[in-house]
Amino acid sequence: MIFPIEGKISNLTSVTYFILLEFSEVRELQILHFFLFLALYLTAMIGNIVIITLVVLDHHLHTPMYFFLTNLALLDLCSISVTIPKSMANSLMNNSLIFYSGCVAQIFFLTLFASSNIAILTIMAHDRYVAICNPLQYEAIMNKGACVQMAAGAWLCGILYASVHTSGTFAISFCSNVVDQFFCEIPKLLKLSCSELYLVEVGFLVLSASAVFGCFIFIVSTYVGIFTTVLRIPSEQGRQKALSTCLPHLIVVFVLVFTAVFVYASPPSSPSSDLGVAFAVIYTIFPPMLNPFIYSMRNKEIQTAFQRLVY
């Protein structure tokens, strides 16, 4: 085991664990943090499991929109399970360590699920655009085979993206094993680098940010087209139905993209801040927790399916 000496590692090749950020050194606050994260985690788990169950069991929801929503719910289940259980366990056990292999796994899976999430949200925007702006061609364009291929492509891109970033991050040498975050996060690990190789991963991050920005521009332009079409709908009920399926999706995209961009766009040399930790909590916890509620609050099909399941 390597112990930090004045924040440095004496042997750069033998880092076997990292020290994660503690929310508090006060035992009572650690217990409070455990129960708070437990409540948020269970809320996210239950909500997304309900969405998946409803879509799988109710044949009325076997449509492209809900197929992609199921993928989104599965990604949310997986992504929140990468970071929160470990943070809860550390608080409960009064331990802030994570093994090197555990850190590698966190980086890989968090990057995989986050990138696949962005891809699925982009596909969902395309699905809504076709459904509202080109309804006569909807079944032909968004057929079962096309939907499966798009979802599989999103997961495959996530795997490739995660592989590149994980290998790029852990190819560097670390001068310290003290991570200024409650989970292993790429920008925080790059701050620990003592070699110029970290610039390669910074380059990957810049390219990734460009890709995410491209997805964001695509989603925004898609919704400009959607809202333009919706405003032409003569029926007030028709406009409300169209907006009720689009506005929640747009809210999810804005929350996820802007909080993640704040964290990942900060240069590795920038000083740590409580705001960075707060934004990390937002983009890792709140989208998975709020998505089931956002997509079901004004969605009569989901509400009806839930009633059929319960009653």
- 189 in a domain, yes or no? no
Closest CA to 84 of 289, 259, 265, 268: 289
Q: What is the pLDDT of residue 183?
A: 92
Q: What is the pLDDT of residue 159?
A: 95
- 186 in a domain, yes or no? no
With pLDDT > 70 as the criterion, what percentage of the chain qualifies? 83
Distances (CA, A) of 128 to 219, 246, 274, 289: 10, 7, 37, 23
- 285 in a domain, yes or no? yes
- 235 in a domain, yes or no? yes
pTM score above 0.75: yes
Closest CA to 118 of 160, 155, 81: 155
Q: What is the pLDDT of residue 274?
A: 67
With pLDDT > 90 as the criterion, what percentage of the chain qualifies? 36
Q: What is the pLDDT of residue 155?
A: 96
Q: What is the pLDDT of residue 133?
A: 87
Domain span at residue 159? 46-80+114-173+195-310
State the DSSP string of the chain. Answer: ----BTTB-S-TT---EEEPPPS-SSHHHHHHHHHHHHHHHHHHHHHHHHHHHHHHH-GGG-SHHHHHHHHHHHHHHHHHHHHHHHHHHHHHHT--EEEHHHHHHHHHHHHHHHHHHHHHHHHHHHHHHHHHHSGGGHHHHT-HHHHHHHHHHHHHHHHHHHHHHHHHHTTS-BS--B-SSSS--HHHHHTTB-STTHHHHHHHHHHHHHHHHHHHHHHHHHHHHHHHHHHT-S-HHHHHHHHHHHHHHHHHHHHHHHHHHHHHHS-TTSPP-HHHHHHHHHHHHHHHHHHHHHHHHT-HHHHHHHHHHH-
- 40 in a domain, yes or no? no
Give the Cα separation of 260 and 263 in Å (integer).
5
The answer on pLDDT for 196 being more than 90 is no
- 95 in a domain, yes or no? no
pLDDT in tens, 79-104: 999 999 999 999 999 888 999 999 99
- 142 in a domain, yes or no? yes
Which residue bears the tokens 């920005």? 213
The answer on pLDDT for 156 being more than 90 is yes
The number of folded domains in the chain is 1
Residue with the larger pLDDT of the pair 80 and 227: 80
- 41 in a domain, yes or no? no
Q: What is the pLDDT of residue 244?
A: 66
Residue with the larger pLDDT of the pair 93 and 301: 93
Mean pLDDT (the chain, rounded): 83
Residue 46's contacts (CB-CB under 8 Å, 6 or more residues apart) are none
Q: What is the pLDDT of residue 226?
A: 84
pLDDT in tens, 159-194: 998 998 898 888 888 888 898 888 998 888 888 887
Kindly give the interhelix angle for 274-297 and 236-265, rounded to the nearest 10 degrees: 160
Residue 68's contacts (CB-CB under 8 Å, 6 or more residues apart) are 120, 123, 124, 127, 147, 150, 151
pLDDT in tens, 111-138: 999 999 999 999 998 998 998 888 889 9
Q: What is the pLDDT of residue 71?
A: 95
Q: Provide the CATH number for the domain around residue 55.
A: 1.20.1070.10
Tokens of 268: 């590795």
